[in-house]
Amino acid sequence: MGTGYVAVLPWAGLHTFVGYPGSMIDHRDGFGFTPTEASALWASVSPGGDVDLAWNTTVGADHYCVRRASTRDGFHTGALLPLGCTPAGDPSVVTFTDPSAAAVPGERYYMVAPVNASGQ
């Protein structure tokens, strides 16, 4: 249910991606990123291979958790890696770095999930 992009990185280098991140919007009981907020997720790759993510805040978020998959359907099949979360109680932290994620060839798909105060 959406548009995605894939970037295959055969070697480390400086790559900047602007637009949809190639994953999906996480909604639970009407809570999550709106389509407008979801279109404001940016990913860039540093020369050392770090993937830097940044996004806009969403209403009602307490913090955000970041997940990565190496296949396009990884979020649907459960083949994903929880990378970590921003500090709880501070929804203004809207950046995350995945160290050396692009230092080796392969595909990377990211999902940023807003978490409300009740943990959902």
Domain extent at residue 50? 15-115
Residue 44 lies in a domain: yes
Residue 7 lies in a domain: no
Contact 93, 86 (CB under 8 A): yes
Each residue's pLDDT tens digit, 55-86: 888 888 899 999 888 887 777 777 888 999 99
Contact 66, 117 (CB under 8 A): no
Look at residue 104 in the predicted model and tell me its pLDDT: 84
* Run of H or E residues at 44: strand 41-45
Residue 4 lies in a domain: no
Look at residue 50 in the predicted model and tell me its pLDDT: 92
Look at residue 106 in the predicted model and tell me its pLDDT: 85
Residue 10 lies in a domain: no
Other C-beta atoms lying within 10 Å of the C-beta of residue 39? 15
The predicted model scores a pTM of: 0.71
Look at residue 89 in the predicted model and tell me its pLDDT: 92
Look at residue 21 in the predicted model and tell me its pLDDT: 45
Residue 98 lies in a domain: yes
Q: How many domains does the chain have?
A: 1
Residue 45 lies in a domain: yes
Residue 8 lies in a domain: no
Contact 70, 103 (CB under 8 A): no
Phi, psi (rounded to 5 degrees) for 18: -125, 130
Mean pLDDT, consecutive 10-residue stretches, the chain (120 aa), reads 58 50 49 69 87 88 90 77 93 93 85 78
**Domain containing 47 — which CATH number?**
2.60.40
